Amino acid sequence: MKKKNLVVIGTQWGDEGKGKIVDLLTEYASVVVRFQGGHNAGHTVIVGDKQTVLHLLPSGILHDQVLCVIGNGVVLSPDALLKEIDEVEAQGVSIGDRLKISSACQLILPYHVALDQAREGAKGDAKIGTTGRGIGPAYEDKVARRGVRLGELLNLDTVAERLREVMDYHNFVLQGYFHQPVLDYQQVLDGLAQRAPVLLSMMADVPSLLQQKMKDGASILFEGAQGSLLDIDHGTYPFVTSSNTAAGAAAIGTGIGPGDLGHILGITKAYTTRVGSGPFPTELFDEIGEHLGRVGAEFGATTGRARRCGWFDAVAMRRVCDLNGVDGLCITKLDVLDGLDSIKIAVAYKGCEELGGAVVGSDQYSQVEPVYEEMPGWHGNTSGVTDYDLLPANARAYIERLSEILGAPVDMISTGPERTETIILKKPFTD
């Protein structure tokens, strides 16, 4: 079979289980590339009795034969990255020269964090629900062309001049508008100078690196963070993240052509969850919602916040599948639905007929009412099942119905947190 690249993206509001799937698929890849987001994302990987939570490092880092790359679409916190490297290496993972970072990566600096937290604090109950880690302000500086990129650390004298100007601006906002303490310029500059040597030792021309790897026949896995419904353009704006999370961002965020992306694998839970504020049409506030949260251990890997839980939203998912050009689906956490008498799927919305398919990104989205299709549940155990034919008949019927509604085949099914607890119906990286 001809090898090809693979893009793994979340198709809901994040937390779909991408970390486990990327870790599993890395067995078939030579290179794993993170293409957007920052350390506001968290991927949990469980191997045996060991749990690893990754925020910036690509999930393939746990495989010692794999090259891991952080692309230019990522905003990079030097402190968070170096701390994560230390934590992973303390678990016995040797990173060595297996991590490469794009010279075009924008750096998250202390004033970005201060601004993020000041803004959220000022909004009170109207806050968006960011992690307060400086992601949004760093992307703002990137677009405003005043950000500091990794490659610029090669000339600290030039960085020092620009940093003073940028910090004068941000300190003015912090003090004059938010009434918060200003940050010390020299302290920020000294911190950059201290971290520059180790960061620069990992720097690479990522577009050239990936082109060469493809010429050498390598299979590349592109890993997204968050989920498509949090996309800055196509998500539930303004309750979104600050980057493009859709599959197309894998090309822009790494510097390769869209034609090189290959197979698009969309990861989706068998139900729906959301962290933070924003509309959520299928959210449940009853004992079933409590069941999903408790059995699914629905707490954010990065923030520890409890996730809001609800039925599967096929309306939003159909839009996401079209947006990403999804070639195949991986359904995760099927086992969380074990024991339910019936299961519902949102197949339409009331109150948005005039909006058409654009409702997901509209102001009116918070007012829609889901129309449900109900299916019988199952009382058999799906946890740890690795053979599709051994799933309860009603579980198979549910999966097949989701595939039918979404118009995309199911490539994989996750039945538990471990690598081995997976049903693979289509092998990755093959035509």
Active site residue 341: no
HEC per residue, the chain: CCCCCEEEEECCCCCCCHHHHHHHHHHHCCEEEECCECCCCCEEEEECCEEEEECCCCHHHHCCCCEEEECCCEEECHHHHHHHHHHHHHCCCCCCCCEEEECCCEECCHHHHHHHHHHHHHHHHHCCCCCCCCHHHHHHHHHCCCCCEHHHHHCHHHHHHHHHHHHHHHHHHHHHCCCCCCCCHHHHHHHHHHHHHHHHCCEECHHHHHHHHHHCCCCEEEECCCCHHHCCCCCCCCCCCCCCCCCCHHHHCCCCCHHHCCEEEEEEECCEEECCCCCCCCECCCHHHHHHHHHCCCECCCCCCECEEECEEHHHHHHHHHHHCCCEEEEECHHHHCCCCEEEEEEEEECCHHHHHHHHHCHHHHHCEEEEEEEECCCCCCCCCCCHHHCCHHHHHHHHHHHHHHCCCEEEEECCCECCCEEECCCCCCC
To the query of whether residue 43 is one of the catalytic residues in this protein, the response is yes
Angle at 78 between CA 72 and CA 84, to 5 degrees: 100
Question: Which residue is catalytic, options 23, 39, 43, 335?
Answer: 43
Residues with catalytic roles: 15, 43
